[in-house]
Amino acid sequence: MTDLETRVLTETPTTGPSPQEAGEVQHSTGDRVRSVIKHLLLIVASVVMIYPLLWLLVSSFRPTDVIFRTPGLWLKDLTSINYTQGWGALQDPFGHYLLNSAIVVVGAVLGNLLSCSLAAYAFARLKFRLKTLWFSIMLVTIMLPIHVVVVPQYILFNKLGWINTFIPLILPKFLATDAFFVFLMVQFIRGIPRELDEAARIDGCGHWHIFSRVMLPLMGPAIATTAIFTFIWTWSDFFISLIYLTTPNTYTVPLALRSFLDSTEGSNWGAMFAMSIISLVPIFLAFLFGQRFLVKGIATTGGK
Amino acid sequence: MSAISELSHIKVDKAKTPEERRARAKEAGRDNKAGYLFLLPWMVGLVVITIGPMIASLYLSFTDYSLIQAPEWIGLENYARMISDERLHNALRVTFTYVFVSVPLQLILALAVAMLLDKGMRGLALYRSIFYLPSMLGGSVAIALLWRQLFGSDGMVNQVLQLVGINSTTGWIADPKYALGTLILLHIWTFGSPMVIFLAGLRQIPGMYYEAASIDGASRWQKFVKITLPLLSPIVFFNLVLQIIGAFQSFTQAFVVSNGTGGPSDSTMQYTLYLYQKGFGQFQMGYAAAMAWLLVIIVGVLTAINFFASKYWVFYDD
């Protein structure tokens, strides 16, 4: 439709001072119409996309009975009672679950950064036997559904007495099992000029020095992307926590949130919404400050 | 920089004397050792966390095992049971519907919005953030809980419908006809991450292609079909493969929205949810392992089909 309009407009015979100039002017009016329509579309889409989130935020400050009568966003009769209620509604104060999640997230981020960068350096820069084979295995494991390993893993960790500890959630990260990030870092290192490590090598640096003194400082964006994605994914992870954490005092935030459905019979929506907002704040902040890296990181792996 | 690069070239090219060759062989040996040292954590993980358990689960899939007694070899019985397990067939139906409806819709929307977001347009960063944010939050329990409220019988969606004059008392998540639809909608809502990948891809298409096409009088649609789609096809392919694999494993939303039951009437019983119930609800570890292997085979076959089909529609510039 807009395309047709533009064409009709530009093809209309002109009577202006010079054909070229007039053509440009008319072209730009067609463009303006197109631009207005486009912005309208995007604004409508933005509102639809963001409305549930804003509504969740506002509703978390409303009494439960008001939540169920108010689809709008007006800010009157707001109360913080949901937050105080929700904080104490479960067996432990909600801060306890936040702390549990924080421990797991810190462990996971450290583990991923360390193990994935080591593996990535090897794949991107070193020559060793069967490298192509290992690299393809690594790529395949990115696509492997976790379910195929989760049953024996559970049996193994159960035998080791690690159920209801955070070890099953953190240890695999120190063993570079999130191959996606290995791949992301390999792609990044490949973009760093080889001259830099050659120079270090000529200066007599060993691989550990090249890795830690030359590569790591240059890998800032890849490290940031890995850290932020690991943070967001681990913070939201539900499946693995659900399997390994069964006693309420080991619950991470997602498990605690879900247990609202059982403990309050799913009726205290206000409290549930309030704690939901609290659980989303760290992701939102990570998104806000890390968006640059998320966009770039996702583009490096996706682009080529 | 260039001096250094020259130096390194000389070093590589002129290793002709025996000493130099020996030195290079030594260096290669050191590289080999270093390579395996750097890979050590990953390899331990590969053996202990990935391949070992994969083999173990293949073995378990031929056994009856409930964690209490030792696994008992029962041959192909688990697989035979799968053939007659109606609930499993239903779970496959639900999952295939979910994947093959939500993934294409999500990707089409992602591409459409990415194309609207021209380079340098006003508000670009804000639009992108708004569209991208839901895909970061969408996997969380908080959003799944929100969905439970939104699509409940007295939830926000019905209230909005009432405002526009539609009196709906349908509990969308309580009605077997619509419950899966709400999950599909949630998946589509997270179109931001493929959108960001599309955006990056669109930026790489040289503007002169479009200029040349304009001079030849190509319409916008022709430009889209003849320039944008072919040049973007590797990225469409990448998104398609990853989204299909990801959607098959989706679990959290179905679990939370149905409170772990897969209901109503198994209408949200996704494959992974059924696997969880079998393995970790009823501790039928052997059966769960067999189900996991079926999942690997399904995802593997679909990925292989995707790669095979890509020869016919994915266009590689180089």
Binned at pLDDT 50, 70 and 90, residue A27 comes out as low
Residue B304: pLDDT above 70? yes
Helix and strand totals (H; E) in chain A: 16, 0
User: Within an 8 Å CB–CB cutoff, is residue B219 touching chain A?
Assistant: yes
Residue B74 lies in a domain: no
Contacts of A126 in chain B (CB under 8 A): 31-32, 34-35, 38
Binned at pLDDT 50, 70 and 90, residue A299 comes out as low
Asked if B295 and B236 sit in the same domain, the reply is yes
Which of residues A197 and B144 earns the better pLDDT score? B144
pLDDT, residue A111, reads: 97
Mean pLDDT (whole number) for A78-90: 92
**Distance to chain B for A236, nearest Cα, Å:** 5
Contact A53 B133 (CB under 8 A): yes
Asked if B127 and B258 sit in the same domain, the reply is yes
C-alpha to C-alpha distance for A58 and A77, rounded to whole angstroms: 11
Of A177, A233, A258, nearest to B50 by CB-CB distance is A177
Locate A197 and state its tokens.
Answer: 């490590």
What is the tally of structural domains in chain B? 2
Residue B140: pLDDT above 80? yes
Contacts of B149 in chain A (CB under 8 A): 67, 269, 273
**Distance to chain B for A246, nearest Cα, Å:** 11
Angle between helix A220-236 and A94-125 (nearest 10): 140
**Distance to chain A for B27, nearest Cα, Å:** 10
Q: Which residue of B has its CA nearest to A141?
A: B50
pLDDT, residue B16, reads: 60
- Give pLDDT tens digits for B164-197: 888 888 889 999 999 999 999 999 999 999 999 9
Asked if B24 and B141 sit in the same domain, the reply is no
Q: For A126-135, A263-272, B103-112, which range has the lowest pLDDT when averaged over its residues?
A: A263-272
Asked if B200 and B294 sit in the same domain, the reply is yes
Asked if B117 and B238 sit in the same domain, the reply is yes
Residue B289 lies in a domain: yes
Binned at pLDDT 50, 70 and 90, residue B284 comes out as very high
- Give pLDDT tens digits for A161-186: 999 999 999 999 999 999 999 999 99
Contacts of A42 in chain B (CB under 8 A): 113, 116-117, 123, 127
Binned at pLDDT 50, 70 and 90, residue A261 comes out as confident
Contact B200 A199 (CB under 8 A): no
Binned at pLDDT 50, 70 and 90, residue B29 comes out as confident
Of B131, B140, B289, nearest to A151 by CB-CB distance is B289
Residue B69 lies in a domain: no
pLDDT, residue A75, reads: 82
Contact A172 B289 (CB under 8 A): no
Residue B139 lies in a domain: yes
Mean pLDDT (whole number) for B106-130: 91
User: Within an 8 Å CB–CB cutoff, is residue B49 touching chain A?
Assistant: yes
Mean pLDDT (whole number) for A222-227: 93
Q: For A1-15, A251-265, B274-288, which range has the lowest pLDDT when averaged over its residues?
A: A1-15
Of A129, A148, A198, nearest to B54 by CB-CB distance is A148
Locate A131 and state its tokens.
Answer: 């490298």
C-alpha to C-alpha distance for B50 and A177, rounded to whole angstroms: 8
A238 CB neighbour count, 10 Å cutoff: 22
Asked if B10 and B90 sit in the same domain, the reply is no
Enclosing domain of residue B46: 2-60
Q: Which residue of A has its CA nearest to B141?
A: A254
Residue B12: pLDDT above 70? no
> Which residue spans within A99-245 are E strands per DSSP?
none
Residue B67 lies in a domain: no
Own/partner contacts of B87-91, CB < 8 Å, gap of 24 or more, are: B87/B266, B87/B269, B87/B274, B88/B274, B88/B291, B90/B266, B90/B269, B91/B262, B91/B266, B91/B269, B91/B270, B91/B271, B91/B273, B91/B274
Distance of CA A202 to the CA centre of its chain: 40
Contact B128 A138 (CB under 8 A): no
Residue B73 lies in a domain: no
pLDDT, residue A28, reads: 74
Of A134, A151, A291, nearest to B285 by CB-CB distance is A151
> Which of A32-36, B115-119, B272-276 reaches the highest mean pLDDT?
B272-276
How many A-B residue pairs are in contact by the CB < 8 A criterion?
A: 292
> Which of A33, A148, A164, A288 to probe by mutation at the B interface, max B CB count within 10 Å?
A148
Interface confidence, given as ipTM, is: 0.87
Asked if B244 and B201 sit in the same domain, the reply is yes
Q: Which residue of B has its CA nearest to A174?
A: B41
Asked if B31 and B161 sit in the same domain, the reply is no
Asked if B154 and B9 sit in the same domain, the reply is no
* Residue whose token pair is 């005092």: A249
Contact A128 B276 (CB under 8 A): no
Residue B104 lies in a domain: yes
Asked if B13 and B93 sit in the same domain, the reply is no
Asked if B21 and B144 sit in the same domain, the reply is no
Distance of CA B112 to the CA centre of its chain: 20
Closest to A278 (Cα-Cα) out of A247, A259, A257:
A257
Mean per-residue pLDDT of chain B = 89
Residue B72 lies in a domain: no
B85, containing H or E segment: none
Q: Which residues 97-136 of B are in CB contact (within 8 Å) with A?
A: 113, 116-117, 121-123, 127-134, 136
Residue A253: pLDDT above 50? yes
Mean pLDDT (whole number) for A203-222: 90
Mean pLDDT (whole number) for B48-69: 93
Residue B216: pLDDT above 60? yes
Cβ-Cβ contacts under 8 Å for A224 (sequence gap 6 or more): A290, A293, A297
Contacts of A233 in chain B (CB under 8 A): 139
pLDDT, residue A25, reads: 47
Asked if B126 and B265 sit in the same domain, the reply is yes
Binned at pLDDT 50, 70 and 90, residue B20 comes out as confident
Q: Which residue of B has its CA nearest to A43?
A: B127
pLDDT, residue A205, reads: 86
